[in-house]
Amino acid sequence: MYDKILLPLDASPTDRAIIEHIKKLAGIMHSQVVLFHVATGASAQFRGADAAGKEIDESRAYLERVQTEFEAANIPAMAELGYGEPAKEIIKWIQEKGCDLVAMATHGHKLLADIALGTTASRVQHNVSVPVLLLRAR
């Protein structure tokens, strides 16, 4: 049912709940998990895949740690790093590479904050044609 699950991560404590949830789901469904983080700093915004620096190094290290965690649970996982604006890059990834499910943690902002800031999760769910699982982080 879910052969490939895209798991966008923001490298914050918010990720933990969705990581644990997807480990269980992917184990049951025998899914491959694609861990995806979008670097948003100045270097990433302007240089894209040629970006370098502390943010890029820390992002890659974070993805490697999470990938190792999935693999230790016998769940095939790969990690990819995007560059720029998170919602735009997640949507682009889905359109270009495809997946069966997108699973994201949400920060649980209130209505006014969501209207003012626009949420990555909301923008993704309204612009893709695959199921989107949203899990509110505590």
pLDDT tens readout for residues 12-63: 998 999 999 999 999 999 999 999 999 988 777 767 677 788 888 899 999 9
CATH of the domain at 61: 3.40.50.620
* Count: domains in the chain: 1
Element (H, E) at 43: helix 42-47
Q: What is the mean pLDDT of residues 4-17?
A: 94
Q: What is the pLDDT of residues 61-97, one digit of tens each?
A: 999 999 999 999 999 999 999 999 999 999 999 999 9
Calpha distance 60→54 (Å, rounded): 10
State in Å, rounded, how far the first CA of the chain is from the last one: 28
pLDDT-derived band at 111 (thresholds 50, 70, 90) equals: low
Range of the domain at 54: 4-136
Q: Which pLDDT band, with edges at 50, 70 and 90, does 115 fall under?
A: very low
